[in-house]
Amino acid sequence: MNNETNYDAIVIGGGHNGLVNAAYLAKSGLKTLVLEQRSLVGGAAITEELIPGYKFTTFSYALSLLRPDIVQDLDLASHGLTVLPMTNTFQPGFDGEYLLLGPDKDANFHEISRYSVQDAEAYRDLNHLINRVCHALKPLVDEIPPNSASQNPADLAEMAALNQYIEKLPEDIRAMIDKFANCSAAEILDEYLESDLLKAQIVSSGIIGTKAGPRSKESGLVWLFHRLGEYDGVQGDWGFHKGGNGGFTQVLARAFESFGGTIQTEAGVETVLYENSQTTGVRLKDQTQINAPIVVSALDPRRTFMQLVDPADLPGDLVQAIQDYKFQGTASKVNFALSDIPNFPGLDGRADIFTGFTNVGPSFDYLEDAFADCLAGRYSRRPFLDCCVQSTVDPDMSPPGKHIMSCFVMYTPYKLAESDWDAERENLGDTVQNTLEEFFPGFSKLVEHREVVTPLDIERFVGLSEGNIFAGELFTPQMFLNRPAPGWNQYRTPISGYYQCGSGTHPGGGVMGGPGKLAARQILKDHHAAMKTSD
Amino acid sequence: MPKTTPFHNCLAPYNETGIWKHWSGYLVAPRYQYSTIAEYYAIRNSVAILDTSPLFKYRISGPDALRFLQSVMVRDIGQCKIGDAQYTCWCNSDGFVLQDGVILRISDDNFRLTAGEPSLHYFRATASTLDLSNLEIEDLTNDYGILAVQGPHAYSTISQLTDATDSLSYFELAQTEIEGSPVLLSRTGYTGDLGYELWIKAEDADRIWQCLISAGHDYNVIPIGLEALKMARVEAGLLLLDVDFQSARFAWVDEQRETPIELGWRWMLRKLAHDPRDFIGRDAIEKQMTEGSNRWTTVGLSIDWNDYERVHLEAGIMPPKYELYCESTHNIYRRGSHEWDYAGYATSFLFSPILKKPIAIAKLPNELAKPGTEVDLEIPIIKKNRNVLARVQRMPFFNPTRKTDQPARKAAL
């Protein structure tokens, strides 16, 4: 079967990076097709109305890392982009203790002072230093990284320029980057702060989605990564997209279509087609063949290199690197439809405490215990939870007066030592509910519906290998020059015309769009060069 | 001691910041929460209540009321149907704007008017000059409070309290009751979003307030302050007295005064050729239109996002965006062979949270007022002034369809 239509470019996977990539290609005039295996686009950024009136952010649930230039380049505001600010962060502790941080730095000073006056001040210093680090790294996040494996003079020059850029950074910023790359988040935090509750609140960014505890050396970089985002220029701040992150990917889909792009859903791709290392198109699972000289995989590196093409056609060192690339998903979601807002004793009836992240994980020890379960091959008996009640900000997420709560759950290893996820799914739901009951007494009575999404479900429904939400761990050996593999970090593949644009490429995971944007830049550069040669 | 509005006792407990400021001598909150942006998004995402009671409120009634308003106002209130509202302005005899305001036409000869500055004496004196005596002009400022209920869920909130919203189109009004108290309801506002304004008798303020807060609870209703309102009004392209223009009444020189044409209100004069009225300032305005002698045109400016980023990143800082709203004058220059070639100025500057770019309201000479024209806008960056690229854009900057669409009553789930 041969499809009548030919395209300039086909993007495999309608997640946010696939859509961003496709929108850039379509905007620059390429006739572009997005193929999505599911019935809706969005990938891991979708919103589903599982029961009438309740909108579940099944997987991802907040925005910050989204590169702001994408919003401008693709004119997302005119397609309905609406990012609602998450103004508060709530950290429940034990015995009625809590930390409620908000948008006012002086109010935060006094709130932290309840635990440590010294921390209240040091917190500002630490934040300012991290903000400067993120600012210094911004050009690296928003550019195609150099190729460290090449001896080509142009590539060598780019590597030299990179080293020079780093060397020219102020001493304290370079030292801090070193720490983030090599130390645990706990080590760094212990240098600055003393309050357990405050440190536990901050460290959540260092462990989230990652097989690492607060004291694991990988947590430093994961923390830094999650600070790279912004809300209207305020670094590290987060927002909810109106209607959930599915609302955001619908905006992307509209933008793509406004540039003349085509979306085809329920169109799983069986294989990328190529002859003599030259891409010719794709074959769908229903055996339809669609031709295009450019094919972009928005899937993760394992699927991009081991499934969509024959690894036998690839260089051995690349195949080895992809085989070694770590997925090891450890995160789940448990989402609740609630009849009312959860209650925290002492702050009874306060809906405003839920207008941002609510982190359940009051100390390093609590989090390390949760991680110890993970290392033993079982899910945490007392999990770390990152909860959001978006309906407190966006009334259209739930029926009037009701609420929807998204809980990101750690640690839930993809491979369970003594059971499997189909057997444990509801047990995990009970464990999460019991933990919430501990911190928010009466919670269970509010539950009207519960959705449990295990790492296995993430893999099954979204296609992310082993359920890793970042399309591969955010570990130093898998970032920047090495994402997904040394020499293959510039969105190209060994097959001419076949590209990669998923979160497994630089700058990485999260609803960032950076990989999609930078891959498009590379594709268009190559495309224009090819057009010139053929002229 | 400043005066308080009829809603002050209801609102005071919501003010987490403890900060109040004065508006026409009344206490009002710049914001209630620590976050202005959260209040702004109540307007764009849920529902916000704003106390605009400090506005001066007048009733103009009697057999000569229509003629009076037709003689004073730039737009013809005779074209405004009974039960409709009209946004208008009034000028001095030189065609310079004194004020803008909204007139509600309640019946043939009964009108209400809101204004930013006291106008009772001016209206009465003008009526006398015009030899119109068969009318009454009353100051209702302290008899009524006004609440603006604005946002996508403004209808969901008010429709629980009265059916009058069901058939109320944009700029229509209805006299209705909430819990037995009379309320004058209009589908108007200063936010550019779906919204209503309610005239509430001062003695009913507490009760109606409670009704609105209860009805809005499930839609996350919050009271909002002036800062959030001002952000929204820039996106809506609505000018603010004493920010984007000043009243000709207390100006010293004509350089401070502006005509409706200069304020970008040419649309108010669209039907002038078929309008026989002799309203105050007409001759001067008509002359200016014919000759094209207006000194300025008020336009929207869309600041180039990439250039705005560039000038800040070059200085080594993050571009300021969050809750960025300023009312100071920014100079505008022609982009040409030499720098700093003065062209005009911007009066309101906002990083628009919904459009995700900086925008401004500006005055430019006619030859630069065409949409798409590129100019340089001067902004201060670390104690030095830099120019950023900006383009003339038609206002409103943000104009959601829900502002004028008929909202649908939600089926019960």
Q: What is the DSSP string of B8-52?
A: HHHHGGG-SS---EEETTEEE-S-SSS-HHHHHHHHHHS-EEEE-
Q: What's the pLDDT at B243?
A: 97
- B217:A131 CB<8 A: no
- Mean pLDDT for chain B overall: 96
DSSP string covering A228-257: S-EETTEET--EEETT-HHHHHHHHHHHHH
Q: What's the pLDDT at A2?
A: 52
Q: What's the pLDDT at A533?
A: 83
Q: What's the pLDDT at A489?
A: 98
State the Cα–Cα distance between residues A458 and A456, nearest whole angstrom: 5
Claim to verify: residue A338 and residue A321 sit in the same structural domain: no
Q: What's the pLDDT at A535?
A: 67
Claim to verify: residue A232 and residue A91 sit in the same structural domain: yes
On chain A, the residues whose CB falls within 8 A of the CB of B354 are: 77, 82
DSSP code of residue A307: I
In a domain, A402, yes or no: yes
State the Cα–Cα distance between residues B112 and B188, nearest whole angstrom: 14
Chain B residue with Cα closest to A68: B356
Q: Give the domains, in start order, of chain B with CATH numbers.
A: 8-53+142-235 (3.30.1360.120), 57-126 (3.30.70.1400), 297-393 (2.40.30.110)
How far is CA B184 from each of CA A3, B138, B146, B197, rounded to the nearest angstrom?
A: 63, 17, 9, 8
Type of residue numbered A217: K
Type of residue numbered B350: L
Claim to verify: residue A144 and residue A229 sit in the same structural domain: yes
Cα–Cα–Cα angle for A285, A286, A289, nearest 5°? 85
Provide, rounded to the nearest whole percent, the portion of chain B with pLDDT above 70: 99
Q: What is the Cα Rg of chain A in Å? A: 23
- Answer yes or no: is pLDDT of B412 > 50: no
Handedness of CA B94, B96, B98, B104 (dihedral sign): positive
CA distance B31 to chain A (A): 13
Cα–Cα–Cα angle for A274, A278, A284, nearest 5°? 30
What b/e string do you get for A297-333 counting C-beta neighbours within 10 Å, with b at 16 or more?
bbbbbbbbbbbbbeeeebeeebbebbeebebbbbbbb
- B318:A131 CB<8 A: yes
* Residue B13 sits at the chain A interface (C-beta within 8 Å): no
**Proportion of chain A in helix, strand, coil states, percent, rounded to 5:** 40, 20, 40
Type of residue numbered B56: F
Provide, rounded to the nearest whole percent, the portion of chain B with pLDDT above 90: 97
**Pairing of β A32-35 and β A9-12:** parallel
In a domain, A60, yes or no: no
* Residue A52 sits at the chain B interface (C-beta within 8 Å): yes
Claim to verify: residue A409 and residue A455 sit in the same structural domain: yes
State the Cα–Cα distance between residues B173 and B165, nearest whole angstrom: 9
Claim to verify: residue A283 and residue A185 sit in the same structural domain: no
In a domain, A55, yes or no: no
Claim to verify: residue A265 and residue A304 sit in the same structural domain: yes
State the Cα–Cα distance between residues B332 and B340, nearest whole angstrom: 8
User: Which residues pair with residue B138 across a beta bridge?
Assistant: B59
Q: Which of A201, A221, A237 is the last residue of a domain?
A: A237
On chain B, the residues whose CB falls within 8 A of the CB of A131 are: 318
User: Which residues pair with residue B112 across a beta bridge?
Assistant: B59, B104
Claim to verify: residue A528 and residue A412 sit in the same structural domain: no
On chain B, the residues whose CB falls within 8 A of the CB of A52 are: 413
- A401:B38 CB<8 A: no
In a domain, A54, yes or no: no
Distance of CA A215 to the CA centre of its chain: 22
State the Cα–Cα distance between residues A508 and A506, nearest whole angstrom: 5
- A400:B305 CB<8 A: no
* Residue B126 sits at the chain A interface (C-beta within 8 Å): no
**Pairing of β B85-91 and β A278-284:** unpaired
DSSP code of residue A303: I
- Answer yes or no: is pLDDT of B410 > 70: no
In a domain, A78, yes or no: yes
- B44:A82 CB<8 A: yes
Of A72, A82, A131, the CB nearest to B305: A72
DSSP code of residue A144: P
Name the strands in the sheet holding A32-35, side by side, starting at the edge strand that comes first in the sequence: A262-264, A32-35, A9-12, A294-297, A498-500
Distance of CA A146 to the CA centre of its chain: 23
Report the candidate in A194, A201, A195, A203 with the shortest Cα–Cα distance to residue A222. Answer: A203
* Residue B41 sits at the chain A interface (C-beta within 8 Å): yes
Type of residue numbered B289: M
Query: Model confidence at B338, in pLDDT bands (50, 70, 90)?
Result: confident
* Residue B357 sits at the chain A interface (C-beta within 8 Å): yes
DSSP string covering B178-205: ETTEEEEEES--SSSSSEEEEEEEGGGH
Q: What six digits make up the tokens of B222?
A: 């919050």
DSSP code of residue B79: G
- A400:B354 CB<8 A: no
Claim to verify: residue A119 and residue A174 sit in the same structural domain: yes
CA distance A112 to chain B (A): 17
Task: Please check whether residue A157 is in contact with residue A146, taking contact to mean a CB–CB distance below 8 angstroms.
Answer: no
* Helix, strand counts (H, E) of chain B: 9, 20
Instruction: Pick out chain A residues at pLDDT < 70.
Output: 1-4, 535
State the Cα–Cα distance between residues A190 and B114, nearest whole angstrom: 60
Claim to verify: residue A95 and residue A224 sit in the same structural domain: yes
State the Cα–Cα distance between residues A204 and B58, nearest whole angstrom: 58
**pLDDT per residue over B217-266, tens digit each?**
999 999 999 999 999 999 999 999 999 999 999 999 999 999 999 999 99
In a domain, A58, yes or no: no
Type of residue numbered B395: M
On chain A, the residues whose CB falls within 8 A of the CB of B45 are: 82, 84, 242, 393-395
Matching residue, tokens 């409709």: B84
How far is CA B130 from each of CA B67, B97, B405, rounded to the nearest angstrom?
A: 10, 19, 40
Q: What's the pLDDT at B1?
A: 85
Q: Helix (H, G, I), strand (E, B), or coil: what is residue A81?
A: coil
Q: Helix (H, G, I), strand (E, B), or coil: what is residue A281?
A: strand
Q: What is the mean pLDDT of residues B47-69?
A: 98
* Residue A84 sits at the chain B interface (C-beta within 8 Å): yes
Q: Which of A413, A442, A462 is the last residue of a domain?
A: A462
**Which segments of A330-401 are extended strands (E)?**
331-338, 358-360, 384-388
Range of the domain at A250: 2-46+66-82+243-325+472-534
On chain B, the residues whose CB falls within 8 A of the CB of A103 are: 34-35, 37-38
Mutate to test the interface with B, among A89, A232, A237, A355 (most CBs of B within 10 A): A232
Q: What six digits make up the tokens of B176?
A: 């209705």
Q: What is the value of pTM for the model shown? A: 0.97
Cβ neighbours of residue A182 closer than 8 Å, sequence gap 6 or more: A217, A220, A476
Cβ neighbours of residue B229 closer than 8 Å, sequence gap 6 or more: B43, B50, B190, B191
In a domain, A14, yes or no: yes
Claim to verify: residue A431 and residue A483 sit in the same structural domain: no
State the Cα–Cα distance between residues B179 and B162, nearest whole angstrom: 9
Q: Which of A440, A462, A484 is the last residue of a domain?
A: A462
Claim to verify: residue A190 and residue A260 sit in the same structural domain: no
Q: Helix (H, G, I), strand (E, B), or coil: what is residue A43?
A: coil
Q: What six digits make up the tokens of A81?
A: 């982009």
User: Which residues pair with residue A291 across a beta bridge?
Assistant: A6, A281
Claim to verify: residue A112 and residue A199 sit in the same structural domain: yes
State the Cα–Cα distance between residues A97 and A85, nearest whole angstrom: 25
Q: What's the pLDDT at B95?
A: 98
Mutate to test the interface with B, among A71, A81, A84, A353 (most CBs of B within 10 A): A84
In a domain, A305, yes or no: yes
How many folded domains does chain A comprise? 3
Task: Please check whether residue B335 is in contact with residue B364, taking contact to mean a CB–CB distance below 8 angstroms.
Answer: no
Q: What's the pLDDT at B413?
A: 43
- B37:A392 CB<8 A: no
Q: What is the mean pLDDT of residues B183-205?
A: 98
Report the candidate in A410, A14, A81 with the shortest Cα–Cα distance to residue A240. Answer: A81
How far is CA B142 from each of CA A276, B99, B115, B138, rounded to the nearest angstrom?
A: 84, 20, 14, 11
